Amino acid sequence: MKEISLVLLGFGSANRTLAQMLLDKSEKDDSCRQCLRVVASGGSSTSKLVPWKVVCIITRRHGRVCVPHSSKSEINVEEALERIGAGGILDATLVRNTNEATTSTAHSTTTDDTIKLLNELGKTQTANIVVEAIPSNPKSDGEPAISFIRTALQAGMHVASANKCPLTHTRNDKETYFELQEIAKRNEKIYLHESAVMDGVPIFSFWNNLPGVTCTKIRGLLNSTSTMILSRIEGNIDKVVESDGQVEHVGETFEEALEAAKKVGIVEEDESLDIDGWDAAMKLRALCVFLSSSGNLSLPEDHDVIVPPLEAIPRDSIRQINPELICTEFRTSRKKVRSVASAELVDLPSDPAIGRHRPVKTWKMSVQNEFLSQSDPLYNLNGSSAAVQFFTDVMGPISVVSQDPTLMDTAYGLFADVVRIASQSS
């Protein structure tokens, strides 16, 4: 890739943090004013500087601005960040190096408008990478993010996405993720999603470095909000002194802990996604779908893998966890409660009566409130930390921990995907 031309689909916290990271990570030389260092493709250890620019920013509430199609113009990213930070809107004055008419609007952008614009940006080769970081409804159909990603790939652009919905939803009884990757392959494009599950932690890309490994089980704390709420209800329970055989509660009530998590800004707009296990179930299913995609499980070709639908995943709510329960369990066994997401690859017998003639495996998944012993690797995770363990057929458990992640972590996942795309398509 000779030049990175970005569409920022959404300009909320994640993409604004990414924009600042791009500026901070930029290098320059005599031929390049604003470049990213990209490792050359083909496994080479050499690197090169690749120019980058933003050619379009599309938002729901702050308008949109795009450079003229097929032009060499670019958006002033520093000014765009300042404008939105001050509560302003995007307009044509943000485009520099042009005397041509720009595409901008101060009004909200509809789904149809965005799809039309993405088609134009791709077909005119104005942009080559779409960075998608917009809210979608994970409980329904995952739109509009899925349609935007599909359109971008069909229009000839690569995609880096922070959205888990494409990995968790189905369309016409087919995994949406499989469909999108097939579109990408057909158009010789790349669709990456490192920030979809654990912010920027490389839990997807690291499987590229594990040839021949089959993941047999997944276990982890995938929802930071539930971990924070439960740890705040506990308080500093490890250091409480017993009185008359009882452990005095020193933490917060459920309501207080939820309010504290909201102030930190990690609670979904629909809080039931965090509290009732939906978010953890979606992230768990996303991992299972990814691992079940072509080549990732290293299973024989005559094996099929079934990933149960999201609605079929049993989910515990943390609403039922109260201080009395936490204190009693800690007093009797020194255990702590956490919302644990787990999945195990199990065999299904062939059944010609229902047309199942080939060997089949399926993921047995759940999100459950578990009381963890002190020897459990997840025991000491508190605050907004997250962790996942992968069990495989050839190695011991691989544990990945994200300690109190911030928006920088999410933005880095997107940043890393952009750099990988630039490297692999060069």
The predicted structure's pLDDT at residue 244: 59
Average pLDDT, the chain: 89
Least confident range of 64-68, 92-96, 109-113, 269-273: 109-113
**pLDDT digits 0-9 by tens, 106-122:** 556 789 999 999 999 99
The predicted structure's pLDDT at residue 61: 86
Please state, in angstroms and rounded to a whole number, the distance separating the CA atoms of residues 302 and 207. Answer: 22
**pLDDT of 205 strictly over 70:** yes
What are the phi and psi torsion angles at 96 (to 5°)? -120, 165
The predicted structure's pLDDT at residue 241: 52
Greater confidence, 241 or 121? 121
Closest C-alpha to 125, from 192, 55, 63: 55
- Give one word for 408, left, alpha or beta, with left for phi > 0 and alpha for psi -120 to 50: alpha
Contact 201, 399 (CB under 8 A): no
In whole angstroms, how far apart are CA 426 and each of 4, 30, 38, 41, 129? 10, 21, 9, 6, 13
- Residue range 82-106: mean pLDDT, rounded: 80
Greater confidence, 1 or 127? 127
Pairing of strands 304-306, 242-243: unpaired
**pLDDT of 33 strictly over 70:** yes
Pairing of strands 95-96, 74-75: antiparallel
What are the phi and psi torsion angles at 368 (to 5°)? -130, 150
- Residue range 90-103: mean pLDDT, rounded: 76
Under DSSP, the state recorded for 406 is -
Q: Which tokens belong to 231?
A: 């740890």
The predicted structure's pLDDT at residue 76: 96
Contact 350, 308 (CB under 8 A): no
Residue 71 — pLDDT band, cuts 50, 70, 90? confident
**pLDDT digits 0-9 by tens, 361-416:** 999 999 999 999 999 999 999 999 999 999 999 998 999 999 999 999 999 999 99
DSSP secondary structure, 334-372, as one string: --EEEEEEEEEEEEE--BGGGTB-S-EEEEEEEEEEEEE
**pLDDT of 296 strictly over 80:** no
**pLDDT of 336 strictly over 80:** yes
Contact 322, 254 (CB under 8 A): yes
What are the phi and psi torsion angles at 129 (to 5°)? -135, 130
Residues with Cβ within 8 Å of 6's Cβ and at least 6 positions away in sequence, in order, are 52, 53, 54, 55, 56, 127, 129, 130, 131, 418
The predicted structure's pLDDT at residue 359: 73
The predicted structure's pLDDT at residue 322: 87
The predicted structure's pLDDT at residue 54: 97
Least confident range of 27-41, 174-188, 199-213, 351-365: 351-365
- Residue range 317-323: mean pLDDT, rounded: 91
Please state, in angstroms and rounded to a whole number, the distance separating the CA atoms of residues 3 and 389. Answer: 38
In whole angstroms, how far apart are CA 280 and each of 103, 317, 382? 39, 11, 16
**pLDDT digits 0-9 by tens, 156-168:** 999 999 999 999 9
Please state, in angstroms and rounded to a whole number, the distance separating the CA atoms of residues 144 and 134. Answer: 9
- Give one word for 275, left, alpha or beta, with left for phi > 0 and alpha for psi -120 to 50: alpha
**pLDDT of 212 strictly over 90:** no
Residue 248 — pLDDT band, cuts 50, 70, 90? low
Contact 365, 342 (CB under 8 A): yes
Q: Which tokens belong to 1?
A: 């890739």
Q: Is residue 14 helix, strand or coil? A: helix
The predicted structure's pLDDT at residue 229: 96
**Number of other residues whose CB lies within 10 A of the CB of residue 112:** 10
Residue 355 — pLDDT band, cuts 50, 70, 90? low
**pLDDT of 97 strictly over 90:** no
Greater confidence, 32 or 424? 424
Residue 251 — pLDDT band, cuts 50, 70, 90? confident
The predicted structure's pLDDT at residue 330: 87
